[in-house]
């Protein structure tokens, strides 16, 4: 993903570059980036015993550096206002073990086909 408004940890960048991320998450990231900067902490949840080719269906978003007050709350509201198939099965504010507040977004399987086709 070559969007200057999107920052990601090295592991998340590698997963994006490898095409391992569910298309609904890619579209959500693009939507959020139109509102402002996006900080991706981690991707996950391809499911128990999932094959390596199964797309990652969960992401954790953090407040980016220099984000406006209320960033996570407005991000939460935007994600919860989406319509299917872009409405996640779970959009939850949570804290990581290090105390960082994030929004965890999870989509159910399977991923619909053709969302990114022209």
Mind listing the pLDDT tens digit for each residue in 58-90?
Answer: 999 999 988 888 999 999 999 999 999 999 999
- How far is the CA of 31 from the CAs of 37, 53, 54, in angstroms? 11, 25, 23
Query: pTM higher than 0.85 for the full model?
Result: yes
Q: Is residue 13 part of a domain?
A: yes
Q: Is residue 1 part of a domain?
A: no
Q: Is residue 118 part of a domain?
A: no
**Are 14 and 42 in contact, with CB atoms under 8 Å apart?**
no
- Count the domains in the chain: 1
Range of the structural domain that residue 24 is part of? 6-106
Mind listing the pLDDT tens digit for each residue in 1-56?
Answer: 578 899 999 999 999 999 999 999 999 999 999 988 999 999 997 666 667 778 99
Neighbours of 106 (CB within 10 A): 17
Distance (Å, whole) CA 71 – CA 18: 29
Q: Is residue 117 part of a domain?
A: no
Q: Put residue 49 in one of left, alpha, beta given phi > 0 → left and psi -120 to 50 → alpha.
A: left
Distance (Å, whole) CA 22 – CA 54: 8
């Amino acid at each position: 993903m070559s969007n200057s408004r999107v920052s990601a940890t090295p592991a998340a960048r590698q997963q994006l570059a490898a095409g391992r991320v569910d298309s609904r998450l890619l579209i959500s990231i693009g939507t959020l980036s139109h509102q402002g900067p996006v900080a991706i902490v981690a991707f996950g949840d391809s499911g128990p015993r999932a094959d390596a080719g199964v797309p990652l269906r969960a992401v954790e978003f953090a407040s980016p550096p220099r984000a406006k007050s209320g960033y996570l709350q407005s991000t939460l509201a935007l994600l919860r206002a989406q319509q299917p198939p872009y409405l996640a099965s779970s959009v939850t504010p949570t804290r990581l073990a290090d105390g960082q507040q994030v929004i965890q977004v999870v989509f159910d399987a399977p991923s619909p086909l053709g969302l990114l086709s022209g």
